[in-house]
Every structure is written in C-alpha cells, then in structure tokens.
Amino acid sequence: MTFDAIAEWLNEKKYPTVRGKKFRGAHVHSILKKRLAKEELLNREYPKVWSDFSMEVVDKTILMSDFGFHSEKK
C-alpha cells in the first residue's frame, strides 16, 4: 500500500492523529521512518567495552567513633 492509501484507511476507520486530526500520507511516512530508525538503534550490535571502574566502601560508623561520635541505636 502507498502512504496515502494507508492514511485513507486510517481515516476511514476513524483513527485520529496524536493531535486529533486526519492522517495524510506524510504522517504515515514520518511514523514509519521513526519506527524503522528506533528498531535499528535497538537491534544494533555494540562492541563490549571494559572499564577500570573501582569502588571503595567506607564504614562510616567506625570513622565516626574515631572522632567521638557514637551512634545511638534504639
């Protein structure tokens, strides 16, 4: 089907555009173009990248007790 034919079918079935208007062939073309671009991004193979990320964990309860602060647990 052509974009105009699809737009005509959508209008016959009373499907409105996002803004509540009637479809035109250009609308259908734009929707399809965006959909294909999105699928291409989602299906793309990305190379694996390894980083040298590291993380240190500090137990603040020990650190705070060194400075005279005591946690009050109830």
The distance of Cα 7 from the centroid of its chain, to the nearest Å, equals: 28
Q: For the chain, what is the radius of gyration of the CA atoms?
A: 29
Show pLDDT as tens, one digit a residue, over the chain (74 residues).
899 999 999 999 999 999 999 999 999 999 999 999 999 999 999 899 898 888 888 777 766 666 666 656 55
Q: Model pTM? A: 0.56
Kindly report the CA angle at 10 between 5 and 12, in degrees rounded to 5?
95
